[in-house]
Amino acid sequence: EAQVTQNPRYLITVTGKKLTVTCSQNMNHEYMSWYRQDPGLGLRQIYYSMNVEVTDKGDVPEGYKVSRKEKRNFPLILESPSPNQTSLYFCASRDSRTGMGRAFFGQGTRLTVV
């Protein structure tokens, strides 16, 4: 079954404690992306990756890091989380060879930073 898997689904952490949210896809997609969703602001892109070892900033990259060492994995790293990073995070992947591929989303990670 085609899917994008994120972990964890829920996370409560304290300010400054490094954390990683994992994302894995089984569709051999080149393109992967991270979004955060906040009320009234829709889905805002944090980082995206067009292929292995190729990443680029989205609209709200500050405070986040990503890596793309393998095609299937695209972890999101918060080196020093702050309360303003409390949000709902989604990972997505798509077949981007033609620019027409649909996006597949993970189940989401609800992060609370206290």
Partner 1 sequence: GQQVMQIPQYQHVQEGEDFTTYCNSSTTLSNIQWYKQRPGGHPVFLIQLVKSGEVKKQKRLTFQFGEAKKNSSLHITATQTTDVGTYFCAANSNSGYALNFGKGTSLLVTP
List residues near partner 1 by CB under 8 A.
31, 33, 35, 40-45, 48, 50, 56, 58-59, 90, 92, 94, 96, 99-100, 102-108
What minimum distance in Å lies between the beta carbon of 55 and partner 1? 11
Closer to partner 1 by Cβ: residue 58 or 63:
58
And the tokens for 10? 């829920």
Name the residue among 58, 64, 32, 57 with its Cα closest to residue 45.
Answer: 58
Position of tokens 């990670």? 109
What minimum distance in Å lies between the beta carbon of 81 and partner 1? 22
Cis-peptide into 8, omega within 30 deg: yes
Closer to partner 1 by Cβ: residue 8 or 16:
8
CA distance 45 to 68: 16
Closer to partner 1 by Cβ: residue 30 or 73:
30
Cis-peptide into 83, omega within 30 deg: no
What minimum distance in Å lies between the beta carbon of 22 and partner 1? 16
* Cα Dmax for the chain: 42
Closer to partner 1 by Cβ: residue 14 or 86:
86
What minimum distance in Å lies between the beta carbon of 103 and partner 1? 6
